[in-house]
Amino acid sequence: MPSYQRLREFVRALDLPDEGARNYLEIHLDRIITTLSLAPPSRRTGRALELGTYLHMVPALQCVIGYKEVRGAYYGPLGHSDRKQATINGKIVFQCLVDLFDAEKDQYPYDDGSFDCVLACEIFEHLLHDPMHLLFECRRVLDDNGVLILTTPNVASATAVARALEMSGNPQLYSKYADPRGPYADTEFGHMREYTPPELEEALRCAGFEVECLFTTPAPGYRAQTWVLNLLRELKYPTVLRGEQIYCTARKISQAPLTRYPPFLYEVA
């Protein structure tokens, strides 16, 4: 696997459209590189897919990690694709198709077993109606033993516990709605539901995955809540997995039992 430093240098070298995009990258750089460092080597298909791509990770998947073909996906009308490219110092270093569809309603426009690796980063918490649809479609398009990499905020973080105890804010790390007056009011959805680490692991198990790695880290912009950890320790509650950011890698298990509507997530009859 390429080194953390090599991935970091490549991603930071990418040309970006404006200062706002550069600021976003710098704020989220550690999360992006940590996520990329979890990607397994290219296997049988040589292909990888990123859902909700901002074109930060897909170039590195091909140019640094070595996937032969990489696709991106974004919210939009099913059947449409946009050709995107990435440049460094004005030179094209990467091109791919970004396919448009609704990740929690549409059948994804890929054959069964098309990819060795699928990334679903900072998207699961935004889903409005049917998050298990995303997991089941990811499983379908993954090759046997393919890997899903999923990142999402942690609603059981020390920050979330502090907010609940202090009544200083919503325990969800991000609970605001998009500005209805803004240009993205119809396409930008806030965090509909944030997850605890055990909930995420259970959802993946129900979708036929085996979690191989799950950990949390602090997120930029959130102060350390040492007093919360001390209190939890004193009261004999778990202090592990209390970072604001969850990272998870899960492997598709071909013969795993499936639960389409897990009761912890859906109001089922």
| Residue 60 resides in a domain | yes
Which has the higher per-residue pLDDT, 189 or 65? 65
For the chain, the straight-line distance linking the first and the last C-alpha, in angstroms and rounded, comes to 47
User: Is it the case that residue 187 has pLDDT exceeding 70?
Assistant: no
What's at 156, amino acid-wise? A
In a domain, 56, yes or no: yes
In a domain, 203, yes or no: yes
Q: Which two tokens stand for residue 177?
A: 């709605």
Residue 135, in any domain of the structure:
yes
pLDDT 10s digits, 191-240: 999 999 999 999 999 999 999 999 999 998 888 899 999 999 999 999 99
162 within some domain: no
CA distance 128 to 200: 16
Q: Is residue 71 part of a domain?
A: yes
158: in domain:
no
> Tokens representing 101?
């569809």
Question: Would the pLDDT of 67 be above 90?
Answer: yes
**CATH number assigned to the domain comprising residue 38:** 3.40.50.150
Residue 2's pLDDT is what? 81
Q: Please list, in sequence order, all residues whose beta carbon lies within 8 angstroms of the beta carbon of residue 129, skipping any fewer than 6 positions away.
A: 104, 105
pLDDT at 185 over 70: no
Specify the number of domains making up the chain.
1
pLDDT at 183: 75
**Boundaries of domain holding 115:** 4-152+173-214+245-252
Closest to 151 measured CA to CA, from 31, 43, 33, 40: 31
Percent of the chain beyond pLDDT 90? 91
> Does pLDDT of 84 surpass 70?
yes
Question: Is residue 232 situated within a structural domain?
Answer: no
Residue 255, pLDDT score: 92
Fill in the DSSP letter of residue 177.
Answer: P
- Could you write out the DSSP letters of every residue in 8-49? HHHHHHS--SSHHHHHHHHHHHHHHHHHHHTPPPP-SS-EEE
> Whole-angstrom Cα distance, residue 119 to residue 53?
9
Where does the pLDDT of residue 26 fall: very low under 50, low under 70, confident under 90, or very high at 90 and above? very high
pLDDT for residue 253 is more than 90: yes
